[in-house]
Amino acid sequence: MNRAIPVIEPKLCTGCGECVSACEAHAIEVRGEKAIIDYERCSMLNGRECRACVDICPREAITVIE
C-alpha cells in the first residue's frame, strides 16, 4: 500500500510557523527558519487522512507525494 507523504520545499519555506500551529500531531517544528516534519509523529503516515499543513501553508511549500 502506498502512502502519501508531506514534503517541505526548503526554498519556498519561510519558517512562518503556520503549519506548526495547524498540525494536531505536533509533528512539525521550525528549526533554522525552516519547517521540519517528524515523520514518526505525522498523522498522514500513521493512517489518518490529514492535510492540515498542506492546506494552511501560505507559500505552498508543503506538497504531498504518493
Report pLDDT digits (tens) over 29-59.
999 999 999 999 999 888 888 999 999 999 9
* Residue pair 14/43 in contact by the 8 Å Cβ criterion: no
What are the grid coordinates assigned to 44, written together?
Answer: 498522514
Report pLDDT digits (tens) over 8-37.
999 999 999 999 999 999 999 999 999 999
- Taking the complete model, does pTM exceed 0.85, yes or no? yes
Please give the pLDDT value at position 30.
98
d(CA 30, CA 23): 12
**CATH assignment, 5-65:** 3.30.70.20
Q: How confident is the model at residue 2 (pLDDT cuts 50, 70, 90)?
A: low
What are the grid coordinates assigned to 22, written together?
Answer: 495547524
* Buried b or exposed e, range 18-36, using 16+ CB within 10 angstroms: bbbebbebebbeeeeebbb
